[in-house]
Amino acid sequence: MGIPLRILLASALVFSVAAAADDHPASSSSRPIALAELWEDTSLTHALPHCFRIYRRIPLDSGLTQQLRLYVVNPRTWKPSDRRPAVVFIHGGGWSQGDPDQWFPQCRYFALRGAVGVSVQYRLATGTNTPASCLSDCEAAIAYLRRYAHELGVDPKRIAVVGESAGGHLAAALGTVSVEAGRSESVPDALVLLNPITDLTTTWGQCWGNSAQKFSPLQHICKGSPPTLLIHGQADSVVDIFHARAFHQRMLELRNQCRLIEVPGADHAFAVFGFGPPDGNILAIFEIDRYLCHLGYLAGAQLPLIPTRAQDESGGRKALDLSLDR
């Protein structure tokens, strides 16, 4: 791909303004949505039912229990009896940092597109927690979504997982390590990996110690791994694009469905609100949307998004208080 990022973005915008999804409040006018409207506490985001579900309880040495949450954003017309696709986000942060609210804007976007948007809270690898705890929690999260799909309005056969950076590693492991281990209830139906860490035999495996090979997605790709889209910046200064290229090549060697998009000039975390540039945020959303349409998870045109200076200048976000609803 030798096309500049802004040209790619402009092309995506041309396709997106044609129509809006049925769940979008402004569908009659196809009004462009500013990124800040997905980022902040606005009338648009308040129109989307939101809640959290506790999917796992972890006993602590103190005698207390850590409750892990799935943060859920539903379309306006959502009903528990629906069978909608779920778009599940796993945040990055080197397994020891990060927060699920990084992906609330994307959850809102895909709720406007008619899917159930989910962001996963998992234990961070600090203190007595290990990186393997992160993967164990993510496996439990996907299994929970399937088990309670009838309550969540989710189609248990259309669960797409999007992971970024270390979250991309966790998502990739769900489609490789978990497949080999036979934990089918925890395997996504589709994957989107954003600048992912896929090979723990590199320096990225140091914090995994002797478990690096066991939990390295690249070494555990197998026939039948879920269809996968990889998006990686060619100028990534944190996770070398080798990780995406090697994963893509191995997937194709095993005749698995896999696409790789290399974004010229894009650095690490270009898809993350507040970290990457607005046009990078939009490009990632559009490419994820396009891939989910290709898989039959979504239909219709992408929603028209426009970047905003306010997002650049504020550098912060005001997330909905998802603890208000259960």
Percent of the chain with pLDDT over 70: 85
Compute the average pLDDT of residues 4-25: 41
Distance, CA of 114 to CA of 111 (rounded, Å): 5
The per-residue pLDDT for 30 is 67
pLDDT at 6 > cutoff 70: no
Distance, CA of 144 to CA of 55 (rounded, Å): 6
With left for phi above 0 and alpha for psi between -120 and 50, is residue 95 left, alpha or beta? left
The per-residue pLDDT for 264 is 97
Architecture, CATH, for domain 5-314: 3-Layer(aba) Sandwich (3.40)
Contact 131, 151 (CB under 8 A): no
Q: Distances from the Cα of 166 to the Cαs of 10, 21, 90, 246, in angstroms?
A: 29, 31, 9, 16
Contact 186, 174 (CB under 8 A): yes
Contact 263, 231 (CB under 8 A): yes
Q: What is the pTM of this model?
A: 0.88
Contact 191, 175 (CB under 8 A): yes
Which element (helix H / strand E) includes 15?
helix 5-16
pLDDT at 293 > cutoff 70: yes
Tokens of 167: 């979250």
What is the per-residue burial (b if ≥16 Cβ within 10 Å, else e) of 271-291? bbbebbbbbbbbbbbbbbbbb
Contact 153, 159 (CB under 8 A): no
**pLDDT band at residue 24 using 50, 70 and 90 as cut-offs:** very low
**pLDDT band at residue 17 using 50, 70 and 90 as cut-offs:** very low
- Domain positions in the chain: 5-314
**pLDDT band at residue 40 using 50, 70 and 90 as cut-offs:** confident
Better-predicted residue by pLDDT, 261 or 128: 261
Q: In what order do the strands lie in the sheet with 258-263?
A: 50-59, 65-73, 116-120, 84-90, 154-164, 190-194, 228-233, 258-263
Distance, CA of 199 to CA of 45 (rounded, Å): 37
SS3 labels along 86-138: EEEEECCCCCCCCCHHHHHHHHHHHHHCCCEEEEECCCCCCCCCCHHHHHHHH
Compute the average pLDDT of residues 282-302: 98
Q: What is the β-pairing status of strands 84-90 and 154-164?
A: parallel
Q: What is the β-pairing status of strands 190-194 and 154-164?
A: parallel
Q: What is the DSSP string of 277-315?
A: -HHHHHHHHHHHHHHHHHTTS--SPPP-EE--HHHHHH-
Q: Which amino acid belongs to residue 301?
A: A
Digit-coded pLDDT (tens) for 179-231: 999 999 999 999 999 999 999 999 999 989 999 999 999 999 999 999 999 99
Instruction: Using only the alpha carbons of the chain, give its radius of gyration.
Output: 18
The per-residue pLDDT for 113 is 97
* Cβ within 8 Å of residue 309, ≥6 positions away: none
